[in-house]
Chain A
Amino acid sequence: MTIRTEPMTVNVGPQHPSTHGVFRVRITFDGEDIVEVEPVLGYLHRGTEKLAEERNYVQVVTLTDRLDYTSSMINNQAYCLAVEQLLGIEAPPRGKYLRTLTAELQRIASHLIAVGFFVQELGAFGTPLMYTFRSRERILDLFEMLCGARITVSYMRPGGVFSDTPPDFWPALDQFLADFEGELEEIENLLLSNEILMVRTRGVSPLPRDVAINCSVSGPVLRASGVNWDWRKIAPYDAYDQVDFDVPLGSNGDNYDRFWVRMQEVRQSLRIVRQCIAQIEPGPVRLELPMVLRAEPGAEAYGRVEASKGELGFYLVSDGGVSPYRCKIRSPSLINLTITEHLLLGWKLADMIVSLGSVDINMGEVDR
């Protein structure tokens, strides 16, 4: 006797506990195996690029906060670098160091979220997530001291940062770094060699080096596949040429490697933060610029940074007006999503969620 079976199509998202916002994939399952994948995007489209054309150069900074809202500082940085390139100006040294410092703190916060939710999606009920959020909260508290906001910081400005640090910021930062050492160790002990985590992630959804390059992915996903590619090293911006750090590389490009690379990058970011604290000197944090900035007509600039999720780029074109004529955003999450099909096809339902989590997308940035 033969039993008739048929594939089953399931809409995963846009409302699903673990699609990182409103990501939607139509997946056809044969039993638990994935046979067809169709990502559907656009549920969080807000027209950020068009909105940027309606605002002056400084006002656009607030829009960038809302792209990848888990790493607003780095978004600010990418945009400000693009404007500075457009105007031909450069931030003063203290401003550069403050940007580097806050961007690395933001990278730690963002990676902590990525790791926490990655393990949450593996089924660990909340504990690792709460552990990582405990440290992230402290970072957000530091941001609040700097600029009064925790998520939508708008801390950076073209030509530097919004204001100098309050006097109690540095002791608080030192305290955080001292505490975070132990907290990070706790998280690493809990996760890095966890047997269940290993069997669930080692060898699952590998991304070969050539596929990663062909799909133009960037960030920890690319480095997990063994490609040594980090804009902080290749084209150092702000104070990254002054600090010393390593680029962690994976070997298989599987889910474990993507997770592992993020854990190691947190350590490297800590190194950068420490060096920034040691090297930073008093001075102006921001260039004296007119209230309304104007660039030459026809000027173009592309500012890029190594954001927590990959290469984040702002392509600006000026027509001589007070706002950009065109603002094109190259968001890492969207480009990294192009490997969805490659990661998911042939794997099981349970691995699907974990693989998506290992890419660490943020819908605010994917749909813009």
Chain B
Amino acid sequence: MRPCNLTDGMISPDGVLGGNPLFYWIYGLAANVVPCWLAYVIAGGVIMLILINAVLLGAAIVSWGERRLLGRFQNRVGPNRWGPFGALQPIADLAKLITKEDIIPYGADRLAFTAVPVIMVSSLLLATAVIPFAKDVALVDLNVGVLFVLAVSSLTSIAIFTAGWASNNRYALFGAGRAVAVLISYEVPVVLSLLGVVIVAGSMSLGDIVVAQAVPFFLVQPLAFFVFLAGMSAELNRTPFDVAEAESEIIAGYHTEYSGIKFALIQAAEFGGALFVSGLIATLFLAGWAGPVADWLGWLWFLIKTFIGIFLFVWIRSTFPRLRLDQIMAVCWKFLMPLSFINLAAVVLEVYFLRDANGVLTTADLWIMAAINLVLAVVSITFFGNLIKEKVRSGSGGARSANPVTSGLPTTGTM
């Protein structure tokens, strides 16, 4: 049998799969015993299995970690019965959920209802595939990585709306309407803030963006980091933007009617989403796998940075109350939008003036940008923050015009 040639027609090292060494290693091994086309399928399948297991296991760990952390924040213990420190709790939860009755409510659109958890998990898996876990270790290193991530992760809003509509439940419909409004609005500032990152890095590939961060981008573009963090907590439906599944108002929002394994999948997609977004933040703003020592420890730095992101999300969740839908919209369009425009304009100008003849930014240039942008961030966040405070405050009293509201703090009276 003729040995398989990696470059002959089927695939090229710098093709779509971007030269993933693991893929070629498995491909080479399998090609010794099976025909080339089958080796290709096997290698692809193995990679997909690794991805699915890593993401779902990660989601399980995040769900446990989040509940433990929330417990500590809230002055209680959190899950601690099953396994050391309760670490096997996600497995117990999963075992419970898959043995539960899988209810499809009367009048629901069965196909759409069933498709939703699948779409949510698969969009998460697809998006995670392009994140570089260590130096040159991404399952796929797409040269349009940022674009791909944004496109795939916005599939979630379609899934959520489908869930709300297909459930035949009014609370779910409320949740779906809210979710779509929030997700679509927050897409805009998120994309604008990422444009700044792409401009400085000069590439849309997530791997290249990590390499470009001689100075981590959360220092170079604090405004973009802030907008991205806020936007992503809205995309993830997390406090203070969690109107889509506000459990004190609309039960569980779009997934009110989901039970059993479907609910487990939705939960996996949500916790996996937190993991994915934290990984994305680590990649785009915290210099990904780059660390103080040893490139081969890249996965460790990446994990640490990812868990910093998750910790941040849990911290925010355990502290803040929820905003109302119209206030969330106001925050998006009147606060985050101007901030992301300011950031974009500043970055474009800085890159235009600082780059050398070959269009390359040196580390010194990045530090200069960091200094300028830090001042800019403080000034503009303070300015627009005060502005939005006034707007949201005056807006909250104006919802019902028939009863004018006097302002002024209450006073203590004594008899």
Contacts and interface: CB of A to CB of B under 8 A. Distances in A.
Interface string B381-415: 00000000100110011011011011111111111
Contact of B320 (A121, A124, A233, A351): A124
Contacts, number: 150
A247 B246 CA distance: 35
A197 interface: yes
A199 B323 contact: yes
B323 A200 contact: yes
Contacts of B12: none
Contact of A123 (B322, B397, B406, B412): B322
Interface in A235-253: 246-252
A134 B75 contact: yes
Interface majority SS on A: helix, strand, loop or mixed? Answer: mixed
B396 A16 contact: no
Contact of B412 (A17, A264, A350): A264
A148 interface: no
A109 B74 CA distance: 18
Contacts of B250: 349
A195 B335 CA distance: 15
Interface in B61-119: 70, 73-76
B251 interface: yes
A249 B320 CA distance: 27
Contacts of A23: none
Contact of B396 (A190, A200, A261): A200
Nearest to A131: B75
B170 to A, nearest CB: 5
A247 B243 contact: no
B175 to A, nearest CB: 11
Interface in B226-248: 239-240, 242-243, 246-248
A208 B400 CA distance: 14
Interface in A243-294: 246-252, 254, 256-257, 260-261, 264
A257 B327 CA distance: 20
Contact of B321 (A32, A124, A347, A348): A124
Q: How large is the interface on A (under 10, 10 to 19, 20 to 34, 35 or more residues)?
A: 35 or more
Given A126-B74, A261-B410, A8 B170 contact: yes
Contact of A17 (B247, B317, B402): B247
B326 interface: yes
Given A123-B321, A206-B405, A246-B412, A130 B76 contact: yes
B410 A199 contact: no
Nearest to A125: B317
27 contacts: A8-B170, A10-B171, A18-B248, A32-B325, A119-B321, A122-B321, A122-B322, A123-B246, A124-B319, A125-B317, A130-B74, A131-B74, A131-B75, A194-B320, A196-B320, A199-B323, A199-B396, A200-B321, A203-B396, A204-B396, A228-B413, A246-B412, A246-B414, A249-B410, A252-B406, A349-B250, A350-B324
Interface of B: 70, 73-76, 170-171, 173-174, 239-240, 242-243, 246-251, 317-327, 389, 392-393, 396-397, 399-400, 402-403, 405-415
Interface of A: 8, 10, 16-18, 32, 119-127, 130-131, 134, 190, 194-200, 202-204, 206, 208, 224, 228, 230, 233, 246-252, 254, 256-257, 260-261, 264, 345-353
